[in-house]
Structure 1
């Protein structure tokens, strides 16, 4: 090989193997959190469950919090997408019911609640969680509200940001205290904030 030759490309199996390992780490973190809680969750345990080396994890993530944030981003993107198109009272009601189910029954919902709790007493967690997940998610949800108002699909009785907080806050609170989130609560909130049932 001459000095001018380009370096050997990575084997074709590399990216697939890396993606498989990444997903294995995210699933392992999710499962171990559900089984043992945040305090018992360690990089060593995640590596062992995922079948990867600790060095592999540390190459991609600086901490277990960052792994959990990636897990939450991936899972909520798939399982709790922001409604596309012009929002209506009905589509926002459906989104909020899905959010309630996400908080109550989905392992990723537990990740969200754990990170919210951890962020209350750990500044680094709070900063990263807000920058990577809460901020972008809220921006997308607020955009949904504004699109609904602009398109005439909804007419909230308060400012869009206040409407969003009023709709989401009680659901998160009930999940944090371990209470059920009945559809009737979602319906009452939607009817109060967004107007008559649609």
Structure 2
């Protein structure tokens, strides 16, 4: 599940993948709801053009936002550019948790200074809960026995909102244009 910390757009979705570390099934980083840092696939101008083109295609096909695989792919690519490196944070965090024999966390200098912090609860080698924070102090992921939850950072949420604005405006323009063409076709048919 990906949840924005101050975002009213919460998604309920299990993000567990197939790999394990200890008793923890690692998240599926390819899932639409879980972003991790990636290099930009194109410039912001090209992203904008791709978003507008996708909106036009989706409107013509009668799809809107996440109903479209192309839209989901663009969102993931566009937002991941500003995402924290969740994959590395989680991997290093779990490695540190399993190295620590204490059921409650001590401060991990590596995580505090490079990756953020981890808070967790475990008994022996069974991890039941963990929180992962980036270096800005924003919670970016949690693990509980039921799976993973991803939290959007302020930067990710802003970039996703920007994409939605571009897409929605383009989709609405395409819908108005389509209705205009339909109205013109209807008037030609009526007058003919």
Higher relative contact order (CA 8 A, sep 6+): 2
> TM-score range, shorter-chain basis?
under 0.3
Considering fraction of residues, name the structure with more helix: 1
Choose 1 or 2 for highest CA Rg: 2
Structure 1 length normalisation: TM-score? 0.25
